[in-house]
DNA sequence: CATACAACCCGCCAAA
DNA sequence: GTTTTGGCGGGTTGTA
């Protein structure tokens, strides 16, 4: 009992530190400052963090910097490796280049030129992400006339055959939420269980009213981040008075412009829906992905729909900015 | 939880 | 000119 209670407090503190890392990549992220964020002594924090996450603090910081850089390398318009290195917190391009190669098995420029596909294939072949991103890049190169000529993977074709995605651009406000984090592969693995646990907790707290929106937040790009490190947060809107409780933390979902489409499915088909939105709608939309986090927005009642039909209806919301 | 030490990695200069 | 690699000293990290 005591052990699980203290484990829960460790979880929220580690979550807070990881959130801090990804939000402050360009700032100093040494052991002392991060231990301070966690309210632990540096020595104890180091032990706790490694024990619970499987990676040391320095490894975690380095990985987040590299993953952010990997995204920026594929962004438009292209920026120099030096600029990207500094943006994500490396002090010099030499260290960036060396460290990048050690992690991704290729140099930054090779990644940009196409080596990302091999990485994605190696680590997440089941998601077929390469084709999606390739569609996007091919389109950007070849121009509008080929916008609709996407080679379809077997996963995609089920959703694209004779079907046009209805997408609207919404401006969402910043939202304070309580969340339960699942760390592990996206898809039908730990996430459904996390939702069970979370909705039970919400029910017990009387939070599951029709007025409250629930959210699913995937912080990581599964074509870049290893499945074992992908973060997914089950979230529900809360007011300013709500405080963290057990392993339920509090964070703010970023506001801004999102491309939103209504989708009915379940945890096995969400990935394909995301691919359709990014790989098919996005390239011909006049918008591009913004450097923010994609959201799943669940209207109240999705849980009961799921228990009766095996599916649920929700909004996919991808952060966008004009081309 | 503090100290202490070895290994590793960062940060810098040079150069391909 | 930019990026990557090599070499190296000093500082941080990881662990006893």
Checking if the pLDDT of A22 tops 60, the result is yes
State, as a whole number of angstroms, the distance between the CA of A106 and the C1' of B10. Answer: 20
Q: Indicate if CB(A101) is under 7 A from strand C.
A: yes
Contact criterion met (CB below 8 Å) for A225 and A218:
no
Segment A94-121 shows an average pLDDT of 94
Query: pLDDT band at residue A156, thresholds of 50, 70 and 90?
Result: very low
Element containing residue A131 per DSSP (H, E): helix A129-142
Angstrom CA distances, A304 to A199, A209, A215, A292, A310, stand at 11, 13, 16, 30, 9
Contact criterion met (CB below 8 Å) for A127 and A222:
yes
**Nearest nucleotide (C1') to alpha carbon of A59:** C13
Q: What is the DSSP letter of A25?
A: T
| A203 or A154, higher pLDDT | A203
Mark the nucleotides of strand C covered by protein, meaning any atom under 7 Å from a CB: 2-7, 12-16
Highest mean pLDDT among A125-129, A134-138, A161-165, A318-322: A318-322
Contact criterion met (CB below 8 Å) for A21 and A64:
yes
Q: What is the DSSP letter of A299?
A: -
Helix (H, G, I), strand (E, B) or coil at A31: helix
State, as a whole number of angstroms, the distance between the CA of A81 and the C1' of C1. Answer: 13
Query: pLDDT band at residue A181, thresholds of 50, 70 and 90?
Result: very high
Query: pLDDT band at residue A62, thresholds of 50, 70 and 90?
Result: very high
**Nearest to A58, CA basis, from A96, A31, A86:** A31
Question: What does the pLDDT read at residue A64?
Answer: 97
- Using a 7 Å CB cut-off, which residues contact strand B? A 41, 43-44, 62, 90-92, 94-95, 98-99
Contact criterion met (CB below 8 Å) for A93 and A85:
yes
State pTM to two decimals.
Answer: 0.86
Give dist(CA A22, CA A69) in Å, integer: 12
Question: What does the pLDDT read at residue A93?
Answer: 96
State, as a whole number of angstroms, the distance between the CA of A58 and the C1' of B8. Answer: 12
Segment A300-321 shows an average pLDDT of 84
């Amino acid at each position: 009992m005591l052990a699980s209670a203290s484990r829960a407090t460790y979880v929220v503190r580690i979550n807070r530190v990881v959130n801090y890392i990804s939000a402050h990549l360009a700032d100093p992220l040494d052991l002392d400052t991060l231990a301070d964020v966690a309210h632990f002594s540096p020595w104890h924090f180091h032990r706790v963090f490694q024990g619970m996450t499987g990676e040391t603090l320095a490894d975690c910081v380095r990985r987040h910097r590299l993953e952010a850089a990997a995204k920026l390398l594929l962004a438009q318009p292209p920026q120099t490796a030096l600029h990207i290195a500094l943006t994500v917190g490396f002090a010099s391009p030499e260290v960036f280049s060396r460290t990048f190669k050690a992690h991704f098995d290729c140099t930054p420029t090779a990644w940009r030129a196409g080596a990302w596909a091999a990485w994605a294939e190696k680590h997440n072949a089941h998601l077929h992400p390469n084709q999606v991103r390739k569609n996007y890049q091919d389109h950007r190169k070849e121009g509008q006339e080929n916008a609709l000529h996407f080679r379809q993977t077997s996963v995609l074709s089920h959703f694209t055959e004779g079907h046009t995605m209805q997408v609207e651009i919404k401006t969402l406000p910043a939202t304070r939420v309580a969340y339960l984090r699942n760390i592990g592969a996206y898809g039908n693995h730990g996430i459904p269980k996390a939702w069970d646990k979370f909705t039970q907790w919400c029910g017990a707290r009387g939070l599951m009213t029709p007025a409250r929106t629930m959210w699913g937040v995937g912080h990581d790009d599964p074509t870049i981040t290893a499945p074992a490190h992908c973060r997914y947060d089950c979230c529900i809107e809360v007011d300013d008075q709500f405080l963290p409780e057990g392993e339920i933390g509090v964070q703010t979902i970023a506001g801004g412009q999102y491309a939103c489409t209504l989708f009915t499915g379940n945890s096995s088909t969400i990935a394909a829906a995301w691919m359709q939105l990014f790989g098919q709608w996005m390239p011909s939309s006049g918008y591009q992905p913004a450097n923010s986090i994609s959201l799943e927005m669940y209207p109240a009642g999705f849980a009961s729909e799921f228990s009766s039909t095996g599916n649920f209806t929700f909004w996919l919301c991808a952060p966008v900015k004009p081309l």
